[in-house]
Every structure is written in structure tokens, then in C-alpha cells.
Structure 1
């Protein structure tokens, strides 16, 4: 875990340099990488020094992280489970509508400040242009 936390932490430092849209993700990923690094160090100390207290702390915190990741996964499923979309004939992709998603996600997207941020990020990343170009090749 200690070895794997190093690339996560380094990637978090580089994440915000690409665009402003990725900066909101930089801080949580950096905190997660540092926490995993500290937690792994506590576990390593516990194993090398036969410190039962360190191993108990490691076990407790690792279980908390696993439970938090599980809860986050359930949260993501709940807010997006209705968003299966409808197949658009002949185009090879599904059409998504805001009404297909949970009311919490709908309210977030309908908030004008949130939508302006989302819209500007999509425009800067040229998502629609890339999507259109990818699907032009499918229909030819």
C-alpha cells in the first residue's frame, strides 16, 4: 500500500495543472494519497516492531476506509441508477435526459452556478466535438 500511495500522491500534485476543471479533484485525491501513505507507515511500523497498538490502529482505520469507499459506491449507484438512457436508433449511443437521474443530481445540475461550471469544463475539454467526431466514424 505504501508503494501504491506514492503515485497517487504525485498524480494529485499534477492533476490541477491540466485545467481548472480538474482542480476540484486535486485536494481530495491528495488527502486520500497522504492518508493511505500514513496508514501504510503505521501498519509497517506495527509489523516490523511487533507493536500491537499500531496494528490495531491500522486495522481500524483500514476498515473505516473500506466502509467509506463502499458507502461512496452505493451513493454513486443511487444517484445514477435510473440513468440508463434510451438507445438512439442507428447512432450507436444512448440519449441521456436529466429526468433519468435522481432528484439530488437533477437539483445539482439545474443550479445555474453548477451548470455554468460544468458547461465551461465540457467546452474547454471539447467533449461534444470529440463525441461527435467519434460517432461520425460509426455511422459512415
Structure 2
């Protein structure tokens, strides 16, 4: 699977740990994030991930910032993106199962690295349930 990942200065350690896990699982990773703690603007990285998922250059995406709110707002500007702010692996699973989320938005200042890894693993391993949820998901996109 192709995974696009982006982060601001709140998440370089999170990103590296997640990238390592993704590669260990055999996924290809496109890294749009910063590797330093120097202040950067989260939309610059989130837009790249949103574009990758929107254009089907990536199957799924991961974005990381302090609260996850800014990156979520940014990626959700794209028609084919459903970005979900997740803070537990249960929320990550429900975002995939019920909402067919394709980008997980992680709040680095409110989760630990092990929690973030567990959330991404759950996000990747959970399938969309379809059925009654498909009708709801179809109503999300603007035409």
C-alpha cells in the first residue's frame, strides 16, 4: 500500500516512528513532513498529503500536528478525502469502519508515540463496513 505522511514541528519523532512501522509492514511511504523541531506551517505539509490521497497517488494518508485540528481542516478541503482526528485506536477503527476515512489526523501533543503507532496500525487494518454506512459516507462529499 502507498501511504502519504506529513507533519509539522510537533511531530517529527511521531512521523519517524510511524514511517519505521509502515516500512516494516511492507508499505511504501511518501514523506512530506519536516524532520526538525523548527517552526513550520502545517498546511504546507497537509496539502501535499491531501493532494496525494485526492489524486490516488496514495491509498491512505497520515498527518500530524499539535492538536490535529489544523491538518484535519486542511486535508478535508479535498473532494476525495475524509480526514479523521483520532486520539485512540478505537476512534481510528471506527473512522475507517463507519466513515471510510482515508487520512488519519494525529494530535502529537495529546497522544504518545506508542498510541499513535497503535492508531495507525488499527487504521490500516480496519476495513470499511459499507452497508448503511456507505449511504452516509456518500452524503459527505459536495458535488
TM over 0.5: no
Higher strand share goes to which structure?
A: 2
TM-score (norm: length of structure 2): 0.30
Higher helix share goes to which structure?
A: 1
Structure number with the bigger relative contact order (C-alpha 8 A, sep ≥ 6) is: 2
